[in-house]
Amino acid sequence: MTTPGPDGPPRGFRQRRLPPGQYVPRGWPVLHYGRVPQTDVGNWDLRIFGATADGGERVLKHPELMELPQSEVLADFHCVTKFSMLDNLWRGVRALDLAQVWPPHESVTHVMIWAEYGYSANVALTDFLADDSIFAYARNGEELTAEHGWPLRYVCPHLYAWKSAKWVRAVEYLVGDRRGFWEDRGYHNRGRAWDEQRYSYQERPDDGPPL
């Protein structure tokens, strides 16, 4: 089991505290853009492409994903709409473990997570490789529902949850930063919850490419 990443509370700090402006709801709200996909895992795959270390591309079918090292991550989850879910136990494949099997080129600085319907979310490579960054298929001992991202959801706990893309289909290694779906539509390019990086108007010149 892993501990919070570099931009969250100090390692080992398990007190129930919240980033600025957040509250704890009674349930887990369902929020997303567009409709919920109907996924047949028999036809599902995960593509790894872009600036890979060997220049190649990988396509993993669902059974191959499940053969990779499996991990559990205990972490909070913060939505830009201001709700936070505390002490979630995510199960899946850590991004670090995925990157060790199919590594990025040494020039890679960012990663684009691609999902169904062309949704995308960009993260810095350092965020992607954090100990608690995980491609999850279960939470608190139960398989994710389709509404919450089954069969695979990327979760990066110290970033706002729009970065934790539902219905993941691909990982693209980038040699420069590129805005994703919501980052192009006014959300902060970095999205660090503890720094309350919610919207693009808060960005500094070095926070990302121009809109």
User: Using H for helix, E for strand and C for coil, what is the string for 117-179?
Assistant: HHCEEEEEHHHHCCCCCEEEEEECCEECCHHHCCCCEEECCCECHHHCCCCEEEEEEECCCCC
> What per-residue confidence (pLDDT) applies to 7?
52
- Please tell me the distance from the alpha carbon of residue 105 to that of residue 103, in angstroms, as a whole number: 7
> What per-residue confidence (pLDDT) applies to 11?
45
Tokens of residue 32, six digits: 């997303």
Sign of CA dihedral 153, 181, 188, 24: negative
Say whether 58 sits in a helix, a strand or coil.
Answer: strand
- Report residues of the chain scoring pLDDT below 50: 3, 5-6, 10-15
Provide the number of structural domains found in the chain.
Answer: 1
Asked if residue 187 is part of any domain, the answer here is no
Asked if residue 139 is part of any domain, the answer here is yes
For residues 112 and 121, is the Cβ–Cβ distance under 8 A? yes
We report the CATH number of the domain holding residue 126 as 3.90.420.10
> What per-residue confidence (pLDDT) applies to 15?
45
CB contact set of 126 (below 8 Å; sequence gap of 6+): 6
CB atoms within 10 A of CB 190: 23
Say whether 211 sits in a helix, a strand or coil.
Answer: coil
Asked if residue 206 is part of any domain, the answer here is no
Asked if residue 28 is part of any domain, the answer here is no
**Cross-strand bridge partners of residue 110:** 124, 174
**Cross-strand bridge partners of residue 159:** 192
Asked if residue 144 is part of any domain, the answer here is yes
Asked if residue 62 is part of any domain, the answer here is yes
Asked if residue 123 is part of any domain, the answer here is yes
Alpha-helical (H) ranges within the chain are 62-66, 95-101, 125-128
> What per-residue confidence (pLDDT) applies to 32?
76
Residue numbers of the domain that contains 62: 45-176
Q: Which amino acid is at 27?
A: G
Q: Please give the model's pTM, rounded to 2 decimal places.
A: 0.90
For residues 134 and 122, is the Cβ–Cβ distance under 8 A? no
Asked if residue 58 is part of any domain, the answer here is yes
